[in-house]
Structure 1
Amino acid sequence: MEPGATLPHAVLALLDAVDAETLLRDAEGLAEGLADAGWTPEVESEHFRVDGWDVVSSDRAPGLSVFADGDQRDVRGAALAVAAALAARSGEWTFCTEGPDWSAWSVEDPRWQSLDID
C-alpha cells in the first residue's frame, strides 16, 4: 500500500463500525458486523480475512486485533492509513503506543527499524 493510498472498503467499514460503537458489544455481533462489512470468516473461529488483512477477535469480546500482510513498506503505509483514518473520525480516538508515536512518520523514516515499534 503506497502512502496516501485508500484503505479497502472492508477496513473502512470496520473502522466506521468501531467508531459507532456497534461492533464490539458481543461476539455474535462482532462476527455479524465483520461479515456485513465484507470480511470472510476463516476456518479458525474468530478469524476473518479480506484483501491481505486479517481480524482476529479475542476470546473475551469485545476485543480484536487487525493485521495487514505485505512487505515492510506496505505494512507501514497501511498502519499510517489506519492511524489517519481513526484521527479523522472523531476526537474520541487518541493514538496510544507503548513505543514511539509513529503516526506522522513517512514510510521511509529510518525510525521504523527500531525494535520499540508496536
Structure 2
Amino acid sequence: MNLCIKHLMVIMTIMLVIMIMMMMISKKTITDWQKSTPFECGFNPMSKKRLPFSTHFFLIAIIFLIFDIEIIIIMPMTLTLKTTLMMTWIWTSTSFIMILIIGLYHEWKNGMLKWTK
C-alpha cells in the first residue's frame, strides 16, 4: 500500500508540472489593443474625457431592458395557464399585452426606435 501511494504521488507531481508548463506556454504575452478596450459603452473612453454621453445609446439600452423584462414576465404566463381560471388568465394576459403595445406605440411615435439620427 505504501508503494501505491508513492506511485500516486509521483503521477500527481508529474501531472502538476505538465499543467503548469502548459499554462505558461499557452499564456498570451502580447496584449491585443482591441481586446483591452471597453465595448458597448456608447463612447470611446480613450479619446476626450469630457464628451457628453449619447442619449441615443441610453434610450436603446433602456428599451432593451424593457423588452428583456417583458420576456421574463411573459414566459411564466404560459406555465400558469393550466392552474388559473381561464377568464382571469385571459384578462391578465390581455391587459399586459395591451400595456406593452401602448408602450411600443409611444416609443415609436417619439422616435426612440430609430437606429440612426
* Larger of the two Rg values belongs to structure: 2
TM tier relative to shorter chain: under 0.3
**Greater share of residues in strand:** 1
Give TM-score, length-normalised by structure 2. 0.24
Give TM-score, length-normalised by structure 1. 0.24
RCO higher in structure (CA 8 A, sep ≥6): 1
